[in-house]
Structure 1
């Protein structure tokens, strides 16, 4: 039985690692093969094929439900009902629309929409909307958040921007009730932590600020502020423990067997909490796991602790095979597996404080390989922070918040309990801030598979009982994972990354011993690409220090991420074409026309049109030359600045040209292209950008000059080794079945 369950789980999990889904005709054939194997008792292979076929079929249904290519970028009138809890963020009302209908086209069953400057939208309302629809498109960078995988896992078939709309029907249904309750919670005076209480009670994290998320990430306590398996399990454990305690004291009715009642009521509590939180995929996963554990406690304890774990794993994946695309799935099951491994076979009772302390450090070691494989930051202070925060939130804040929410109809009592819960939460955040300032999170660079495998074996050895031979070897095996080898360019060459930052620019140029960042990506309100994309990508590439941050000019799409990057990395010097327009704490100096230096055999030259006062023409231009091969980075210079560079007599020849101003019509003049004579032009832009970049006339001009065009929208982050005289590689070329090429 166990072998068959393991094989079924392997087949279901194989979906996560497929570069492309198998053709539709092959899946029924494989299912038939699995049925034919059953009479021969080849159960493991048969179950693997069943799981694989079901997972691929479910994924194909989700892919088929995405927006049609011909509708990408079109504006349509449609009708639908708002689902989930809408959130106000970055100046827009963001919400999901279920089962939208349009007279002109067939639409996906779920849309994710943003309405800038629109009215307040409530859950459960029915709307008629004019929406500019877009196929799901995410940024693709080294170890970055995979937005396209997240959309598919949520079965969201398209995104869109609302242009106009009218409300057709009032709010109704469970979502409407949750929305009303959220608004009531946000009205409570809770020391400014009303958003945190809404997150703990309803699973709505829109009230948490960027600073809050940064703090939670640094301390490894993100799981405390989103309703996860821990919260659902805690609620179930409290009910189970209450009934068990009453039975032990003799206060439970004898005619009712306490164990079945405890398990049933504990599961009912988990389901009730899940429904209050919206019963999203993570909560459903937690409820399944809790149900399996309670069933094991009731009837199947003699079969060991791994049976409910396997049952829960298969149950979650059978219900939603796309759950394996989410990091939370892997972390939750890995966490339970680590605890089962550490505590299931222990000899003799441990004191509660010893068990609690052991759980924290073993979780830190056991989840380390999973966090690194998923490209997530590792909280060095996590064991200490969780030692304090888990009981604080679990036994104080959450019970008070839930009880206060339940008693809100009683004037003053519910508000008082929520006030107390908010005060305790604020106190916790102050403690976490001190811990984070002392030990911030660590982002590991990308590592070879063999280094990760050695580290995973080392972590497993350290988790085994103390008497296991060679257990101490685990610490030595962890060392390469904590300090993986870095592949640096040889002297005389430079590694260049044009990061995929949407409508903006960020280019990394790294030599053997030095690193330069040309522009820092955009920032729009609280959404900072520098913090969310550029800094994590640099750390994934083992860049922890910048010798120079060169900001072409002060526009937000080029300089917006500078402050966040300066906070995340050590920056030696900052230069810009518009230093006076940048934040004062950057201490930026001016870009000097004609400045030249050499790093590790690679030559750098900066140019700036001296007559440019400000704006795009004042962009600092950078020429990089390695082993006779040249790259020209141009910022947002326009045709006038291009003409000035040509007239100044500079040697602009370069094999690689970053398209000025993202390929706008006002740049990339014929005179400039004749002077540069590039073989390839690189364009950094955002999909469906409002400026129409790159302009069709510019693309026609590139083709007329025989220039190859590479685009971050089509290729994701672009990498080339300057000086090797080779070809460019596109990160989107690393195929995933959910990712469009």
Structure 2
């Protein structure tokens, strides 16, 4: 058995990972099976595909055969089958909630956002076109509606909807909406065209939320009170979220295992203190009752928070840990974590698609590891807290880097100050004030004012950290290389294995190889997926030239903020030297203000100014073209060359501008006007003769770009074509060996959930 092997082969690991003596065969089998189960399901995040039904049946039979002799591999096989079955049900093309227009009966599952121009709500579908959904079909859909609505949580409506599979932009370092939807078991998104109320009963959370909103609406930090009290984050502005993210404090306002554990600890501590004074018992007979009461309070808090999937995961982890502690079974802390993870993945295997799962598990594992690694010189509780927070910040930075493409330098000191404060002061005051208000006690408004004052330090620390340098740092290094480097440091420090130094050197190889200087001076062109728009980043020596920014909308959403800027940060860009706006259409220049705010020193090149723009940049030649015309035909055209290869970015030029242009052949072309039939004329293509073409067109866009006739023209030239709406971000890498093109969906992140739902 795996556990027996480690016990026999190397004793230092036993002090942390195993008991003081050898485990029983049954314990070894259970642990091995659960390790395989958790590892297999967790790896579903990076699977290229899912197993078909017949293969799953074969693997289940094999797992049953191996369960006694090889429990580790039995756990792996069972985990693979369980995850494949659950994930396949969400993307099954035969499920009833497919693309099209439907009339559905659904219940509102999320608190609506009031006074919003554009709001997204979560619904649970009961019937579709008069036919009830079967129990095995997923029934969660996310719908949008423009303007305010009378909806209230828990009400049933007859909705006229237009649905489509969950989708989103596919780019490095930016949010993957499709993965996010699947992690929440949302099988379709769409728009509400009309609605009729069927049942007016309102969920109790809606009434509590309205009372709390009315009482806290005028408080400076009322949004934080509502977020902590009942997970109502609809009032948190983009600026507030940005400040919390740049200070590393978002986990304090998003109800998670931390909050549930704190509530449980507060209840247990309070009841234990009271019990010792009122009903002292040397045998501790009341421990089970205290834990049951604490579990009841934790469940109540989770219900108050809406019991969304993220809260459900945190609740399962917390209750599993409490159950193992109160059961009296002798288990190492790592075993409690393992069983809690295994139970969570049994109920919700798709949790591995959400960052919360990885951050929570990494946090608990890191705390256990840091307690094991604590130097003997650290004895006081304050020193231990500082030690844990320092190590936790470093280890979680690797996870955050992998998920969000950036880290903040201020997470350490901000959390050292705020975690104890929120845990001991702000959270208890907020919960008690909200509860007192809902119970109708006297002085409810005053209690909320006190809770608001308790959240002032959190507000100020977040604001301060966000204003300091280093609030958002990108790192182009692979998070896997960073994680291996941390593991190598552990091996060198504690030497838990034979030849730890040799293993550490091997683990450091990816980091060392990435740091080696190269003789080449490569450059890259990245065509980002910004739906029906254009944004291109030309990169060399960690500097960038940005050609167009994508669209921005009255709701405040901007592709420059959600896609372009995260990409620049993740690529470790130190300066944007030029911001080129081909023309003034929103889908090309909508994010101008965002980029200028982030990069105030960037030179803006637009309109007639492109004719007097620089002819050299970072050793690359820049050739500019522009016709004295209005609209799309007046777009700036940029040709970039390195003496061996040429790239053309033509904006939205159409037939008339193409007729007036004389240009040499290019290697890579971003098709003009997103592949419209009004561009890419045969005569112009005879001049350009591209080898590779990228169409910057949104998935299933209403104009059906790129037009089939245009695709045929390029095909007849022998050009290889990509569509950002289908392939996601397309990147071209130019170096002495030639040109390499990679798309996000096929090479950069070829995972099962990134496949377009056709």
Matched, 1:621 2:637: yes
**Alignment deviations for residues 485-534 of structure 1 (CA, whole Å, 9 cap, x no partner):** 4998934x641110111222111112357531111222223222212211
| Partner residue, 2:242 | 214
| Partner residue, 2:473 | 443
Deviation at 1:536, TM superposition (A): 1.6
| Partner residue, 1:289 | 317
Secondary structure at the counterpart of residue 501 of structure 1: coil
Matched, 1:261 2:289: yes
Give the conservation status (yes or no) of the 8 Å contact 1:445–1:484: no
Matched, 1:179 2:192: no
Matched, 1:711 2:739: no
Residues 418-429 of structure 1 aligned to structure 2 (within 5 Å): 418-429=448-459
| Partner residue, 1:432 | 462
1:218, 1:571 → 2: CA distance?
Answer: 22
Matched, 1:361 2:382: no
Residues 64-213 of structure 1 aligned to structure 2 (within 5 Å): 64=92, 71-72=98-99, 74-87=100-113, 91-103=117-129, 109-117=139-147, 119-172=149-202, 176-189=203-216, 190-213=218-241
| Partner residue, 1:16 | 45
1:163, 1:516 → 2: CA distance?
Answer: 41
| Partner residue, 2:525 | 496
* Segment drifting more, 180-189 vs 677-686: 677-686
Matched, 1:380 2:409: yes
Residues 535-614 of structure 1 aligned to structure 2 (within 5 Å): 535-569=565-599, 571-577=601-607, 591-593=609-611, 595=613, 597-599=615-617, 601-612=619-630
Give the conservation status (yes or no) of the 8 Å contact 1:656–1:678: yes
Distance verdict in 2 for CA 1:452–1:343, change over 3 Å: closer
| Partner residue, 2:668 | 656
1:483, 1:727 → 2: CA distance?
Answer: 20
Give the conservation status (yes or no) of the 8 Å contact 2:313–2:348: no
Distance verdict in 2 for CA 1:693–1:405, change over 3 Å: same
Give the conservation status (yes or no) of the 8 Å contact 1:66–1:108: no
| Partner residue, 1:6 | 35
| Partner residue, 1:630 | 646
2:50, 2:205 → 1: CA distance?
Answer: 38
Deviation at 1:253, TM superposition (A): 7.9
Give the conservation status (yes or no) of the 8 Å contact 2:484–2:508: yes
Deviation at 1:675, TM superposition (A): 4.0
| Partner residue, 1:738 | 753
**Alignment deviations for residues 280-299 of structure 1 (CA, whole Å, 9 cap, x no partner):** 22222222222233234324
Deviation at 1:33, TM superposition (A): 1.1
TM-score scaled by length of structure 2: 0.86
Give the conservation status (yes or no) of the 8 Å contact 1:100–1:108: no
1:385, 1:265 → 2: CA distance?
Answer: 33
**Alignment deviations for residues 674-725 of structure 1 (CA, whole Å, 9 cap, x no partner):** 4433344322122243454434554465556665542101110011235766
Residue number among 719, 738, 742 corresponding to 1:729 in the alignment: 742
Give the conservation status (yes or no) of the 8 Å contact 2:552–2:586: yes
Give the conservation status (yes or no) of the 8 Å contact 1:93–1:121: no
Deviation at 1:48, TM superposition (A): 2.1
Distance verdict in 2 for CA 1:421–1:490, change over 3 Å: same
Give the conservation status (yes or no) of the 8 Å contact 2:399–2:479: no
* Segment drifting more, 709-718 vs 725-734: 725-734
TM-score scaled by length of structure 1: 0.88
1:143, 1:504 → 2: CA distance?
Answer: 19
* Segment drifting more, 136-145 vs 656-665: 656-665
Residue number among 417, 425, 430 corresponding to 1:396 in the alignment: 425
Secondary structure at the counterpart of residue 380 of structure 1: coil
Distance verdict in 2 for CA 1:64–1:592, change over 3 Å: closer
**Alignment deviations for residues 88-131 of structure 1 (CA, whole Å, 9 cap, x no partner):** 58622311221253338988511110011352322212222222
Residues 460-539 of structure 1 aligned to structure 2 (within 5 Å): 460=490, 485=515, 490-491=520-521, 494-512=523-541, 514-524=543-553, 525-539=555-569
Secondary structure at the counterpart of residue 486 of structure 2: helix
2:373, 2:645 → 1: CA distance?
Answer: 62
Deviation at 1:395, TM superposition (A): 2.5
Secondary structure at the counterpart of residue 554 of structure 1: coil
Give the conservation status (yes or no) of the 8 Å contact 1:489–1:512: no
**Alignment deviations for residues 307-361 of structure 1 (CA, whole Å, 9 cap, x no partner):** 2111101010111111111111011011111111223576699433223222211
Unpaired segments ≥5 residues, structure 1: 578-589
1:265, 1:179 → 2: CA distance?
Answer: 26
Give the conservation status (yes or no) of the 8 Å contact 1:595–1:607: no
Distance verdict in 2 for CA 1:68–1:681, change over 3 Å: farther
Give the conservation status (yes or no) of the 8 Å contact 1:341–1:463: no
1:571, 1:167 → 2: CA distance?
Answer: 53
Deviation at 1:32, TM superposition (A): 0.8
Give the conservation status (yes or no) of the 8 Å contact 2:38–2:342: yes
Secondary structure at the counterpart of residue 591 of structure 1: helix
1:487, 1:621 → 2: CA distance?
Answer: 34
2:755, 2:400 → 1: CA distance?
Answer: 26
| Number of aligned positions between the proteins | 714
Matched, 1:224 2:252: yes
1:623, 1:733 → 2: CA distance?
Answer: 27
Deviation at 1:445, TM superposition (A): 2.8
Distance verdict in 2 for CA 1:368–1:476, change over 3 Å: farther
Residue number among 62, 65, 70 corresponding to 1:36 in the alignment: 65
Give the conservation status (yes or no) of the 8 Å contact 1:594–1:605: no
* Segment drifting more, 692-701 vs 505-514: 692-701
Deviation at 1:551, TM superposition (A): 1.7
Secondary structure at the counterpart of residue 81 of structure 1: strand
Give the conservation status (yes or no) of the 8 Å contact 1:517–1:550: yes
Matched, 1:456 2:475: no
Distance verdict in 2 for CA 1:594–1:640, change over 3 Å: farther
2:561, 2:406 → 1: CA distance?
Answer: 13
Unpaired segments ≥5 residues, structure 2: 1-26
1:513, 1:326 → 2: CA distance?
Answer: 30
